[in-house]
Amino acid sequence: LAERTNLAGVRHILLVLSGKGGVGKSTLSTELALALRDAGKRVGILDVDLCGPSIPRMLRVQDSAVHQCDSGWVPVFVGQDKAIALMSIGFLLERPDDAVVWRGPKKNALIKQFVTDVAWGDLDFLIVDTPPGTSDEHISTVEALRPYPLLGAILVTTPQ
Partner 1 sequence: ECPGTDSAQAGRAAACQGCPNQGLCAAGAAGPDPAEAAELRARLRAVRHTVLVLSGKGGVGKSTFSALLAHGLAADETKQVALLDIDICGPSIPKMMGLEGEQVHQSGSGWSPVYVEENLGVMSVGFLLSSPDDAVIWRGPKKNGLIKQFLRDVDWGEVDYLIVDTPPGTSDEHLSIVQYLSATHIDGAVIVTTPQEVSLQDVRKEINFCRKVKLPIIGVVENMSGFVCPKCKNESQIFPPTTGGAEKMCQNLNVSLLGKVPLDPQIGKSCDRGQSFLAEAPESPATLSYRNIIQRIQEYCEQHHMQEEKTI
Nearer to partner 1, 9 or 19 (CB): 19
Count, residues near partner 1 per rule CB under 8 A: 35
Tell me the longest C-alpha to C-alpha distance in the chain.
Answer: 47
CA dihedral 66, 127, 95, 106 (to 10 degrees): 90
**Distance in Å, CB of 45 to partner 1, minimum:** 15
Q: Parallel, antiparallel, or unpaired: how do β-strands 150-155 and 76-78 relate? A: unpaired
The residue within the footprint of partner 1, chosen from 120, 131, 141, 145 (CB under 8 A), is: 131
Determine if 147 is a binding residue for partner 1 (CB under 8 A).
no
| Listed ranges 8-16, 66-74, 95-103, 111-119: which one lies at the site for partner 1 (CB under 8 A) | 95-103
CA of residue 115 relative to chain centroid, distance: 8
Residues 6+ positions from 118 with CB-CB distance below 8 Å: 6, 46, 72, 73, 74, 75, 87
| Listed ranges 70-78, 92-100, 111-119, 121-129: which one lies at the site for partner 1 (CB under 8 A) | 92-100
Determine if 149 is a binding residue for partner 1 (CB under 8 A).
no
Residues 6+ positions from 116 with CB-CB distance below 8 Å: 2, 3, 6, 7, 72, 144
Determine if 121 is a binding residue for partner 1 (CB under 8 A).
no
The residue within the footprint of partner 1, chosen from 6, 29, 54, 141 (CB under 8 A), is: 54
Task: Decide: helix, strand or coil at residue 52.
Answer: coil
Residues that bind partner 1 (CB under 8 A): 19-23, 26, 50-52, 54, 57-58, 96-108, 131-136, 138-139, 158, 160
